[in-house]
Chains A and B, each alone.
Chain A
């Protein structure tokens, strides 16, 4: 089993008020699943995504990723897990504006100490996989939205992570470009990657094999499409 969430609770204190963002989530995700997390705003889907992405830890309950208990790790160990196990794709791309596409993709490899030659080769390979072989030296502002998101996908892929975690990956793209990105995810899934999509658009979620719907911090429905 790749991911095992057991009774995951997340509370936030905002001033004197406590917000119960997640009220006991149980979920198992297998390798090579293609899953979507849906829910209205305030349902806890962002919080769940942060926890799945190891950007945050549960207040209580257990999160096992590849049999490792992620919930009890310190910041630096979490950074390492994010680097090795998780590839993020964000709605607004989150590329470094002053760095070339190639350098953006190299970044995760820099943080795990991959030697320069290997780093460059891997980053080039990842960019080729997303179809950007002739845009490697371009900066984000020289690329279209779809191309930027492809760079972000290449960056997510470059470390061969356990999960690709995509948060509204088509939210800033027009429909046609969005479809292209979804096709790319499809291909990656076919190649054996595990993909978790966070979205509020039904037609995007339908690309996946399984939809988990959240409401008020709990799993409302969990079904295959």
Chain B
């Protein structure tokens, strides 16, 4: 096919626009299918991207290089599995001490006991404060520091002192501007001296990380009993060697638990990446389903365009005849009608993207998910436009181009 002249191209576009302008309502209705399809696809892509962003940023406070040795794995798929894990022997202080001594690839090893209790200061009280029993190594595992005062030391832990570090929200709600350092609070009825306040940590999955208090794990065990299973947080010294650390910890734990080779582990090593894997699996399914829905509505929209183009071609048979009689070649007529279908689908895609932008802004305003429409969605839009316009426009356009001018001129 010979190249188009610029006059031919611009005339094609001019005719297409004029024809669409003459049938405004029809054009708008035809674009409906396309723009709904575009909205579905772009909003889904943007929401999933936003969700990914949100989830991974929430998880980042868990620490990518920190693992958690516990009795239960984070992901339990059935009640039977739960019962099996329930029957495992507890993780104890003995294991913690062995890991501190032998896990040479670890930067920090911290015990982690937790429960919810009420914290009181004079007449003020705050319910459901998450109490963590741990050691100073917790700071490097959780990648946080006290804002004022200090964290309790290893000697506080060894001597089982009744000291605590309170979370930012606890300070805010109980002390109301008063300096909490060296004040006495009651945690679950027991008196503790505040030695520090943690920096603000924000939320994780809607849970405040600031309505917390930290006490020496020895004190925790004294208060709530030493016969509960321990979690042990371990941070890799070198992020690159996280996997090697997992192997080392597994070895130490298996030996301590007296497992002979071939027996399965009776403990879990939990990592952020495992939850990310499950999350990714879930969103993958979501992707497929919703992209399916989007594609179907685009297909329906495309068929709508094809239909209206067939109408347009038959309505304008006479016009095609006139144009051919005075010298329009096949490709000129083809281009004219292709242009029309591309403009319709372009209009649909544009409206779709604009509405999607609005929806994205709305979601961002009312939810914590940072939805945004990335530039590649716009490129995708241009791609869609051309594909749909060309694919569904080519048949009606070539029908127009092949019309016999004599027959077309006689058409009433």
Contacts and interface: CB of A to CB of B under 8 A. Distances in A.
A82 B327 contact: yes
Interface stretch (A62-70, A108-116, A177-185, A194-202): A108-116
| Chain A interface size range | 20 to 34
Contacts of B329: 75-76, 79-80, 111
A108 B324 CA distance: 10
A155 interface: yes
Contacts of A56: 406
B75 interface: no
B327 A83 contact: yes
Nearest to B11: A110
A138 interface: no
A187 B8 CA distance: 33
Given A94-B322, A110-B8, A80 B327 contact: yes
A95 B321 CA distance: 11
Nearest to A103: B14
Contacts of B321: 94
B208 to A, nearest CB: 66
B101 to A, nearest CB: 88
Contacts, number: 60
Contacts of B323: 107, 111
A55 interface: yes
B397 to A, nearest CB: 16
Interface residues of B, number: 23
A90 B409 contact: yes
B405 A155 contact: no
Nearest to A88: B325
B7 A110 contact: yes
A111 B9 CA distance: 10
Nearest to B4: A113
Contacts of B405: 55
A102 to B, nearest CB: 14
A96 interface: yes
Interface string B310-336: 000000001101111111111110000
B330 A50 contact: no
Given A55-B405, A96-B319, A98-B18, A113 B325 contact: no
Contacts of B325: 53, 55, 82, 88, 94
B8 A113 contact: yes
Contacts of A107: 323, 326
A111 B406 contact: no
B375 interface: no
B78 interface: no
Contacts of A82: 325-327
B181 to A, nearest CB: 83
B5 interface: yes
Nearest to A155: B326
A71 to B, nearest CB: 16
A111 B326 contact: yes
A94 B318 contact: yes
B149 to A, nearest CB: 80
B366 interface: no
Max count, chain B CB within 10 A of own CB: residue among A76, A79, A95, A113: A79
A88 B319 contact: no
B406 A108 contact: no
B282 interface: no
A55 B323 CA distance: 12
Contacts of A111: 8, 323, 326-329, 332
Nearest to A94: B322
A109 B264 CA distance: 85
A116 B18 CA distance: 19
Contact of B330 (A75, A90, A94, A110): A75
A165 to B, nearest CB: 10
B76 interface: no
Interface in A41-100: 50, 53, 55-56, 75-76, 79-80, 82-84, 88, 90, 94-96, 98
Contact of A113 (B7, B322, B409): B7
Interface in B1-43: 5, 7-8, 11, 18, 22
A185 B251 CA distance: 106
A83 B319 contact: no
Interface string B396-412: 00000000011001000
B7 A114 contact: yes
A111 B22 CA distance: 23
A19 B322 CA distance: 26
A55 B327 CA distance: 10
Contact of B22 (A75, A98, A112, A116): A98
18 contacts: A53-B325, A55-B325, A76-B330, A76-B331, A79-B327, A79-B330, A83-B327, A88-B325, A88-B326, A94-B409, A95-B322, A98-B18, A107-B326, A111-B8, A111-B332, A112-B327, A116-B7, A155-B326
Interface of A: 50, 53, 55-56, 75-76, 79-80, 82-84, 88, 90, 94-96, 98, 107-108, 110-116, 155
Interface of B: 5, 7-8, 11, 18, 22, 318-319, 321-332, 405-406, 409
9 tightest CB-CB pairs across the interface, nearest first? Answer: A83-B327, A111-B327, A113-B5, A76-B329, A79-B329, A108-B326, A94-B322, A110-B11, A82-B327
Given A84-B327, A111-B326, A112-B327, 5 more contacts: A79-B328, A83-B326, A88-B325, A110-B7, A113-B8
